[in-house]
Amino acid sequence: METYISKLKHILPTFLAVTFGTVFGLAFLRWLLCIQFSLLDIKEEIWVLWLPLIFPWIPITLWLRQRFRVLTVKKGDTDKARFFFQIISWGVMTAMLFVSQAYLTTATGKLETLSSIKEIDKVEKARYYRLTNFSVATYFGGTYTDFRTSGKYNQYLNFDIFFVTPIIADTSEHITDIPKHWYGVKYKEQISNKISNEEKDRKYKEFYDECIQKMNNYNFYSLDHFERKPKSDDRINFLKAIEARTKQQTDESFIVLEPIQETYESRNGNKLAWIFGSFGIGFGVLLFSLLFPGFSDSERKRFLSGKKPKQDDLVDMLNYLVPKGDHFATSIILDLNILVFLLMVFSGIHIISPNGMELLQWGANRRFETTGGEWWRLFTSMFLHGGIMHLILNISGLVIAAIFVEPLIGRKKYFILYILSGLCGSLASIWWYPNTISVGASGAIFGLYGAILGLLLTKAFPEGGKKGILIMIGIYVGINLLWGLTGGIDNAAHIGGLLSGALIGIILYKLDDGKKIE
């Protein structure tokens, strides 16, 4: 019992301060910058989804991670046990942030009651509107479909169909200019991304026809109030539907109103209670989990004295992003891939599953554009990724391969190997696929693995270690190639990078007079 109390005294005060500080701090920051003074205009998904998922790791890393070092386990990996408690902390904060940001969204949303849609530009901007009298010009409707993949391995294909119809003052009003006020309705469907293209087309047509039928019978006046779509992925897609109908570019002056069935008074639901309810559940899990690990008094004394631990995996991982030593070139390549991805995200590209048009705008590789004169896409596509999971998987594969290759052939030849393998992978992609949009560093990364396999035929690696390297690299390459056969993955780039990497790796090694690892 005494040990358990020692753990609570060492961890809980900081846990409580960090948790509530993070939740209320982020809420205040959003209120100040976006709601009160409108200093930032970024997508709402950033506040309600991505910041709650990512932001907690900052305070956990800075203040909680080191406090969890006092926890020990008799059998097993102590570092994994400590990381388990970081995950619990992240879960508590993330759950509270999801609910608190949703509560902030609805609780601060003002309701304006208008007698006509024409009044909307004359009153203070609000999130919610109630129109006592309005009509819709159903004959002037437009539609747009957003196609996106999802899932860890892009195993799902999502259809989001957006319908827009102008809101007018009354049925006698005749549309002469491009309307600025639109009624928006959204439908969504998810199917497998592993089926054939013909089957995908059939399922999409069936769903689209079903949605058209729903819109033909849609009751536009069955609602309590409207929500004015803020800057978000949905608003962007509604605007694309307007552009498809009007053939004109839209801007911030266009207003999209989405119908809300529930009453304005019930918009908050039980969100406020669930902020503290989610904390209570997570806090209980933490208290229960702290019963099992041991307590290291020496680690507590070290922490209180301000001494840094001899080994810190996080610090080692961050140091790997700094170009130096045997990972100089690898660090530069990692930094470039991460930087480009961050630029894409903050420009508005979807962090999980950017669609094909978005990727093409950033330099993705496709036969039509590339062979049509835009040859630079062979290179730029190597630094683009189709979502954060794609980036993480490629980073992991790159680091594993780089441990073997860069120290062996040196940073200059490593750069040459990486770029040439990536270009060969891009060429293989447009040769094999007539209309596939290809992005990612995997062609170049497979080139590194190909180089390893090729160098196993030389004296580059000690004879005693070749079998272990072959098994490890062979399994990685085999699994990825087999997974690529299931669809949704550019296997041509993988194979092109792999074969070219093997050849280029051997050539570069021979140019160095076959220097052997000792």
What's residue 516's pLDDT?
A: 43
- The model carries a pTM of 0.79
What DSSP state is assigned to residue 140? Answer: G
Give the span between the Cα atoms of 104 and 314, in whole angstroms.
Answer: 33
User: What is the pLDDT confidence band of residue 489, given thresholds at 50, 70 and 90?
Assistant: confident
Q: How far apart, in whole angstroms, are the C-alpha atoms of residue 439 and residue 437?
A: 7
Q: For residue range 123-144, list pLDDT tens digits in order.
A: 989 999 999 999 999 999 999 9
Q: What is the pLDDT of residue 41?
A: 80
For residue 173, is pLDDT > 80?
no
Average pLDDT over residues 88-110: 95
CA dist 47 and 27 (Å) reads: 9
> Do the beta carbons of residue 437 and residue 369 sit within 8 Å?
no
Q: Cα separation of 111 and 268, whole Å?
A: 13
DSSP state of 143: E
Q: Are the beta carbons of 142 and 245 closer than 8 angstroms?
A: yes
What would the pLDDT profile of 142-168 be if each residue is shown by its tens digit?
999 999 887 766 778 899 999 999 999
Residue 354 pLDDT: 86
pLDDT band for position 514 (50/70/90)? very low
**Banded pLDDT at 380 (limits 50, 70, 90):** very high
Q: For residue 403, is pLDDT > 60?
A: yes
Q: Is residue 461 within 8 Å of 472, Cβ to Cβ?
A: no
Ramachandran sector of residue 62 (left: φ over 0; alpha: ψ -120 to 50; beta: rest): alpha
Q: Lowest-pLDDT range, 76-90, 94-108, 110-124, 305-319?
A: 305-319
Strands 142-150 and 156-168: antiparallel
Count of beta carbons in the 10 Å neighbourhood of residue 268: 15
For residue 513, is pLDDT > 70?
no
Mean per-residue pLDDT for 309-317? 72
In this prediction, residue 388 carries a pLDDT of: 86
**CATH architecture assigned to 320-511:** Up-down Bundle (1.20)
Which is nearest to 343 in space by CA: 375, 383, 377? 383
Instruction: Sketch the domain layout of the chain as residue ranges.
Output: 2-108+269-305, 111-266, 320-511
Q: Which residue has the tokens 């009354």?
A: 170
Structure tokens at 167: 């809101």
Task: Please give the C-alpha separations between residue 57 and each of 43, 60, 83, 313, 340, in angstroms, as whole numbers.
Answer: 21, 5, 12, 15, 22
Question: What is the average pLDDT across 86-106?
Answer: 95
Task: Note the pLDDT of residue 456.
Answer: 86
pLDDT for position 517:
42
Confirm if 408 and 455 have CB atoms less than 8 A apart.
Answer: yes
Q: Which amino acid is at 177?
A: D
Band of the pLDDT at 486, cuts 50, 70, 90? Answer: low
